[in-house]
Structures are given as structure tokens and as C-alpha cells.
Chains A and B, each alone.
Chain A
Amino acid sequence: MTSPVRSDILDTELWNAFRQGDEVAFGQIAQRYYKSLFSYGAKFSKDREFVKDCLQDLFMELWYRRETLGDTEFVKFYLLKSLRRKIYKESLKLQWLTSEEELDFDADILEELSIEQQIIEGETHTLQLQQLNRHLATLSKRQQEIIYLKFYEGLENEAIAQVMSISRPAVANLLYRTVQELKSRL
């Protein structure tokens, strides 16, 4: 698996090939972002097929717009933002949400570690991880989403602000507060 931190910026060559209508390059680009996007989408809906459908539509839009797209560095951010909007709109359509509601960011309940994993990770460490996990679950939806976008997707604060449609200082504040809270539980 390649690290998203390094592969966030696509090779110019690949990107250009895609923009000129090379569907293999398109596939490679989609491949690079798929897991990360799915993982984000799955936090808003437990219906895996629904998330996959949204992603199919999202990538096809990217394909149809290939000639009007700009730089490569914003691709991931653009995709995350579009995915969130797409899931929101589709959820409204399917009446999973009403227009007053917001999307709920929610991770699956983690099963406790298996004995093997506990042995591998060491006992005290395991205990700490489980405590933290329980604590993460008590954070607000927004706090969880910020933590996710920052640590898991590696986004800059500016990008997080745009994806979540909140101000940049609000992101910085909430992020700082959340890290402090988590730290106090360590």
C-alpha cells in the first residue's frame, strides 16, 4: 500500500494522460483514491453498495469533466468534498435524512482485540488503545470528522474547512481542543 501523504500529488504525466481521455490513466487515478474515499463515505452510511454507487457517479463526473479540470494537488480534497455533498443529496432523496438534519459521521463499533493481537501489541498498550477507542466514540460527530480528515486523510486545515463547510479558525480551534481532550485520556 502506498502512503497517501506521498501520493496526494499525482504525477503530472498520469494526470495529463487522464485529461486527454486515457481511460487506463483514469482507472489508475481512481484506484489511488478509492479506498480512502470509500472509507470516508462509509462513515456516513452503513450501506456499502450505496457508498460504492455514489463513488461510481462521482468518478464518472470527474471523467466527463476531465477537460476542464485544473491542477492535481486539489484532487483528493475535491473528491472528498464532492463525495460528502453527493451522499448528503442522495440521502435526502432516499429520505434517510430530512433537510434540517446533517450527515452523521459515525465509525463502526470496533470489536475488542483478539488474543493474538493483544499479545502482539503488548498488554498495557492494548489497554490504552481500548480506552482511547471508547473515548473517541464519545467525541462529537464534528470532532470525529475533523480527527478523521486530519489524521486519516492527511488534509490541511484549509481543506478540512472547505470539506466540512466551516471556517478555518473553527477547524483549528476544534482540532486543538480535541487533541487536548484525547491527550488528557492518555
Chain B
Amino acid sequence: MIEAFVMMEHYADYCLEDFVLDARFQRWVRYQPADEESFWQAFLEQHPQQAQDIERARTLLQSVYRRYESQLSDSEINSEIQKLVAKARASKETSIDRIPTDDDLPAPKIISFRGPYGWLLRAAMVILVLGVVGWMWLAQSPKSAYDQRVAGQSFVEHTNQTHTWQLVRLADGTRVTLEPHARLSYPEPFSATKRQVYLSGTAFFDVAKDAKRPFLVYANELVTKVLGTSFIVKAPDRSAQTIVEVKEGRVSVMEAANDPAQQLESSRELTGLILTANQKVIFERDQERMVKTLRDVPEVVSSANQTPTFQFKDTPISEVLTELEQAYQVDILFDKDVLSHCPLTATLTDQPLFEKLTVICEAIGAHYEVLDGQIVVDSKGCK
């Protein structure tokens, strides 16, 4: 009460200019919170001579707020935030330190070839040159799929020569984040019917939506086709596996060697092996075998309007599993009749999906496994 009185005296000789510049006054006009409403009403009663200035100051601010308000829906904001969180998480999983952006970071330090450690750098250069020559000699033997595809084409090529991830923006709005040493080639501009790119190494793709021009990633033996979504391709030339992981949306994956790859390229439908959110495919290169499974750490899919809290109180397990299904957009197979009688009380907000499932299964003496990109919960009902 005393505090309010002191505050009121503070405003006693304010004029219009002072009011419009005052943060507290601005907050009242802009958001009309209950506490401010009562404060300013009381102030007006005690200082009626300032009523006109206050009214005019309000009008002035209101016109500013009206004029500069931007239209942005909550779901638009949420989807942008979820993208950020997913990227931050991905950067941790893949232990990227940071992406050097082209201009907003301080200029890199110039490495001196003179100075105390100059000899070391010069020696390193020699070894590097020898290394490249040796590698070129070895590389006479089979060329990588990437080199074969790119040879003789007039493509734009990006090679990430830094030690951190690097962002490449394509003309269609697609964003590709390349791991160190990864290489990406593509025609510029893209053709009118498709957007094809060639990858060697690991990259994260955030593909701009364009239903008329499918986006195709050629990497090792696989072609991944999408209409607009985000996913990761791991295709180092010499690794034993080629992996495609989907964060959001749907992609289709096919062996590039197969003839129907042509079909995959040209059709607008997704054919081949379809992957949906949180699924991944592992291609064992020596056995030429594809295995569909789930990502190691599935993520809540951002198109859902709200982030679920995963708090349950006497909730039937069947509902719990359905909520997980929707949040992660994965298929969970279970016997609805058996599990609708089992209640669960738990807070599972922070655990990754597989830990959530472990907790749920322990509670009812069930177990789960991942089969063909789906989760199967096996239970005899609760005890």
C-alpha cells in the first residue's frame, strides 16, 4: 500500500511525454494487466488534473501498437521453435561444435607459416600433399559412386573443408548442413521437373516444399526422394553402411542401381521403401540389404500443435500409447482390449521415447521391441 503511494507520487508531475516513455505506463496500455489497471485507476482518482494527458498518451501509444503489430500465429512460432530445438539436439548428437556462418562471426585467424610453429605447419603441408598424391594414386581403383555421378557434369560443388558443420542454401530455399569433408553437387538452376543433388558424406537436409518438383538425394547406393521435409543422410564413401534418418514428413528410399530408380525419379508419388517421421533405414553395403528401424533417439514431431506434457494420472495404458504414437508419429502395435484396463500414473516429460516405453512396460510387466520401423508392445494384461 505504501509502495503504491510512493509510486503514485512518482507520477504526480508527469506530463504526456513522460507517460508515453514510461515502461510501466506502456505495459498498462499494451497488455492491460489487472494489477496495472487498478493502479492507474486509483492514480486517476487522486490526480484528476492529469486525466487528459493520460488519455492522450494512451491514444498515442495505442496507435503505435496497432500500427506495428505483425501477424504471426502461435502455430507458426511453435513450428519455428521446434525446428530450432531439433537442430540444437542434432548438433549435440553429432557433436558439432558450431556452424560457422558466412559473415556474422568474427573473421578467422590467419594461420602464419612463419613464427615459432611455422616449421610444424610446413611439415604438415608436406604430409598433406603427400597424402593427397598417395590417395589419388590409390583412387585409380574403383571410383566412388559420387565421383562417377559427378564426373563430366557441370554441377556446382560444395566441399566442407572446415572442421565444423557448414550450411549451404540452395536456390529453392532448401538448406543443407554438411559435415566436415562432406561434398554436395547439384545443377544450378534445378530442372523444371526435379531437384536432384549428389552427396558424399553426411548431411542434414531441410527441404523446401515444392510438390511439383520432387527433391532427390543420390548418396552411395541410395536415392532418397522427398517433397518437402527434413532428414539426414549418412553416406561416407568408405563406410560399411549408408543411413537415411527422417525427422519430419515422409521420404522414399531406393537403391540407385535398380532400374525402377528411374521410376522413382520421375513419378510424383513416393514409391520405394517409405520412411516416415523418426524412422531410419540402414543399408548394409557389403550385403546390399536394407533394414528399416527407428532412429536411436526419436523426437516429438513439430507439426503437432502443442508439445505434449506426457503426464498421466490413472490413464489407461492404451491411451498412453496412443498419445506417444501421435506425438512421435510412430506406429505402436498393441492389444487395445488387454491394455485398456491397465491404468498408469507417471510423469514422462523428459525421457526419450525408448525410456518412456521401458517405464510403461515395467509398470505392467510387458516388453516391447522395434520391428520394421514399428514398436510392438507385448503384454498379457496387467497383474
Q: CB within 8 Å of B: which residues of A?
A: 1, 3, 5-6, 21, 23-24, 26-27, 30-31, 34-35, 38-39, 42-43, 49, 52-53, 55-57, 59-61, 63-65, 82, 85-86, 89, 107-108, 110, 125, 128-129, 132-133, 136-137, 147-148, 150-152, 154, 175-176, 179-180, 182-183, 186
Chain B residue numbers with a CB within 8 Å of A107 are: 67-68
| Nearest B residue to A150, CB-CB | B21
Pick the contact of A151 from B17, B64, B85 — CB < 8 Å?
B64
B47 interface residue per 8 A CB criterion: no
User: Using Cβ atoms and an 8 Å threshold, which residues of chain B touch A61?
Assistant: 98-99, 101, 104-105
Q: How far is the CB of A183 from chain B (nearest CB, A)?
A: 6
- Chain A neighbourhood of B110, CB < 8 A: none
Contact A176 B89 (CB under 8 A): no
A152 to B68, Cβ gap below 8 A?
A: yes
B183-194: CB near A (< 8 Å → 1, else 0) gives 000000000000
CB-CB < 8 A to B99: which residues of A?
60-61, 64
Are B56 and A3 touching (Cβ within 8 A)?
Answer: no
State whether A35 touches B72 (Cβ < 8 A).
Answer: yes
Interface contact A179-B63, CB-CB below 8 Å:
no
Q: Mark B65-82, 1 if CB is under 8 A from A, else 0.
A: 111111010000100111
Minimum CB distance partner of B31 in chain A: A3
**9 extra interface residue pairs, beta carbon distance < 8 Å, beyond A39-B69, A61-B104:** A24-B85, A30-B85, A52-B80, A57-B167, A133-B66, A133-B67, A148-B68, A176-B17, A179-B60
- From B70, B82, B98, B105, contact of A27 by CB (8 A): B82
Evaluate contact between B77 and A59: CB separation under 8 angstroms: no
A59 touches B72 (CB 8 A): no
Q: Using a CB-CB cutoff of 8 Å, which residues 71-124 of chain B contact chain A? A: 72, 77, 80-85, 87-89, 91-92, 97-99, 101, 103-105
Q: Does B30 lie at the interface of the complex (its beta carbon under 8 Å from any beta carbon of A)?
A: yes
Q: Tell me, yes or no, whether B27 is within 8 Å of chain A by CB.
A: yes
Q: Does B16 have its Cβ within 8 Å of any Cβ on chain A?
A: yes
- Chain A residues whose C-beta falls within 8 Å of the C-beta of B290 in the assembled complex: none
Interface presence of B326 (CB below 8 A): no
Q: A31-B77, A55-B80, A129-B63 are in contact. Are A154 and B23 (CB under 8 A)?
A: yes
Whether B33 is near chain A, meaning CB under 8 Å from some CB there, is yes
Q: Are B70 and A39 in contact (CB under 8 A)?
A: yes
* Contact call A5/B63, Cβ cutoff below 8 A: no
Bound form: Cα–Cα A108–B72 in Å: 13
Contact A129 B68 (CB under 8 A): no
| Chain B residue total in the interface (Cβ 8 A) | 47
- Report the Cα distance A31→B79, complex, angstroms: 10
Least Cβ–Cβ distance between A75 and chain B, in angstroms: 15
CB-CB < 8 A to B84: which residues of A? 26-27, 30, 56, 59-60, 63
Query: Which A-chain residue is minimally distant from B90 (CB atoms)?
Result: A23
**Bound form: Cα–Cα A106–B62 in Å:** 18
- A79, B64: Cα distance in complex, Å: 22
The residue from A3, A35, A108, A147 contacting B77, defined by CB atoms under 8 A apart: A35
Instruction: Give CA–CA (A39, B21) in the complex, Å.
Output: 20
B136 to chain A, nearest CB (A): 34
In contact, B33 and A129 (Cβ under 8 angstroms): no
Q: List 5 A-B contacts (CB under 8 A).
A: A5-B24, A5-B26, A35-B72, A39-B70, A63-B84
CA gap between A42 and B88 in the complex, in Å? 25
A56 to B91, CA, bound (A): 14
Complex CA gap A19/B63 in Å reads 39
Nearest 3 pairs of A and B residues by beta carbon: A64-B98, A132-B63, A23-B88
Known: A38-B70, A151-B26, A182-B60. A63 touches B173 (CB 8 A): no
Once the chains are docked, how many angstroms separate the CA of A59 from the CA of B88? 10
Residues in B1-51 with C-beta less than 8 Å from chain A: 16-17, 20-21, 23-24, 26-27, 30-31, 33
Residue of B nearest to A132 (CB): B63
Q: Which of B110-145 contact A (CB under 8 A)?
A: none
User: Chain A nearest CB: distance from B167 CB in Å?
Assistant: 8
The closest CB in chain A to the CB of B58 belongs to A125
A3 touches B33 (CB 8 A): yes
Contact of B366 with A by CB under 8 A: no
